């Protein structure tokens, strides 16, 4: 079912191109592993099993990692009311609503499609935001579901995860068992490690580029749906400022899921790292919302609440 979130052709094109390139990379990666390991059945079965597991259980994995739990309307009536209203406006199925008992203010959406989606907010976010700001954040997350980029980023991340795991496996196998291996085995392991590292690096860059654009697309869609880009800008400013004050050591566990967050769990605005970031800079996001606010003739100034 088509939602009323404004379609974004540039996002669709970017997702299609990214998936096509990653698909080619995926085929080349599996072929290289088959040649190197000389067991096509083992490679195909393992890779296919892990792909199915990540695609079908990505929402549960994310919820478990972020200590999220499904909440009913009786427990969080205001949160459910906002989600209900946005889903009615957007004409889309209501996702499962969850809350994570974390002080870090943030939110994320996950799930393989609109009928199996979860939108989760932290208690830190609920405590800090005004109703209009919360609405903007939730609209942002719902747009990820409507645009199907949650499923795309989950699938796209799979290849990098597999390649990263193989690099670690090869590294530790060589580290702890290198003395007992002959030169041919060592050469195969080195080749597997090299191919996996290259695949990981390429998929990492492709996914990061897509992720940065999809966040801008979600901001734009949320601002247009709610008609209040200034409220979303205010939420961005508030959340980013509060996260920046959290010690980096306390953010490390959460940083593995940055690609899914409303705002990355980063202690500071990135410098050169912005080219490898999952999100555009706060300045870019506020500038875009400022332009949308001007187009809509909104009276409030973005970022000022």
Strand partners, 70: 98
Q: Which residues contact 141 (CB under 8 A, 6 or more apart)?
A: 107, 108, 109, 119, 218, 262
141 is catalytic: yes
DSSP character for 283?
Answer: H
DSSP string, 127-165: HH--HHHHHHHHHHHHHHHHTTHHHHHHHHHHHHHHHHH
Q: Residues annotated as binding site for Zn(2+)? A: 140, 144, 215
What is the C-alpha to C-alpha distance for residues 202 and 204, in angstroms, rounded to an integer? 5
Return the closest-CA partner of residue 230 out of 135, 116, 106. Answer: 135
DSSP reduced 3-state for 110 = strand
Which of 141, 269, 273, 283 is an active site residue?
Answer: 141
User: What strands, in cross-sheet order, belong to the sheet with 96-100?
Assistant: 68-70, 96-100, 117-122, 107-111
Exposed, middle or buried by CB within 10 Å (0-12, 13-18, 19+), for 58? buried
Q: Residues annotated as binding site? A: 140, 144, 215
Strand partners, 261: 108
303: alpha, beta or left, given left = phi > 0 and alpha = psi -120 to 50? left
What is the C-alpha to C-alpha distance for residues 23 and 32, in angstroms, rounded to an integer? 14
Q: How many C-beta neighbours within 10 Å does residue 78 have? A: 11
Point out the residues that are catalytic: 141
């Amino acid at each position: 079912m088509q939602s009323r979130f404004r379609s974004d052709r540039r996002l669709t094109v970017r997702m299609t191109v990214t998936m096509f390139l990653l698909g080619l990379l995926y085929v080349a990666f599996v072929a290289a592993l088959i040649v190197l390991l000389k067991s096509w059945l083992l490679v195909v079965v393992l890779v296919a099993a892990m792909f199915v597991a990540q695609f079908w259980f990505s929402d549960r994995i994310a919820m478990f990692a972020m200590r999220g739990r499904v909440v009913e309307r009786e427990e969080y009536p205001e949160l459910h009311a906002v989600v209900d209203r946005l889903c009615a406006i957007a004409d889309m199925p209501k996702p499962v609503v969850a809350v994570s008992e974390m002080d870090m203010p943030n939110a994320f959406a996950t799930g393989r499609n609109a009928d199996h989606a979860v939108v989760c907010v932290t208690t830190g976010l609920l405590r800090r935001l005004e109703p209009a700001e919360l609405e903007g954040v939730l609209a942002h997350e719902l747009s990820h579901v409507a645009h199907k980029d949650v499923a795309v980023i989950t699938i796209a991340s799979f290849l990098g995860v597999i390649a990263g795991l193989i690099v670690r496996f090869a590294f530790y196998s060589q580290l702890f068992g290198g003395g007992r291996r002959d030169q041919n085995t060592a050469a195969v392991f080195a080749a597997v490690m090299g191919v996996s590292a290259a695949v990981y690096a390429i998929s990492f860059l492709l996914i990061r580029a897509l992720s940065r654009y999809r966040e801008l697309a979600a901001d734009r869609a949320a601002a247009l749906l709610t008609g209040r880009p200034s409220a979303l800008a205010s939420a961005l400013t508030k959340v980013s400022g509060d996260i920046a004050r959290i010690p980096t050591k306390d953010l490390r566990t959460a940083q593995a899921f940055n690609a899914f967050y409303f705002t990355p769990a980063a202690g500071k605005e990135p410098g050169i790292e912005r080219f490898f970031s999952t999100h555009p800079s706060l300045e870019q996001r506020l500038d875009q919302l400022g332009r949308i606010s001007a187009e809509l003739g909104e009276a409030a100034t973005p970022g000022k609440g």
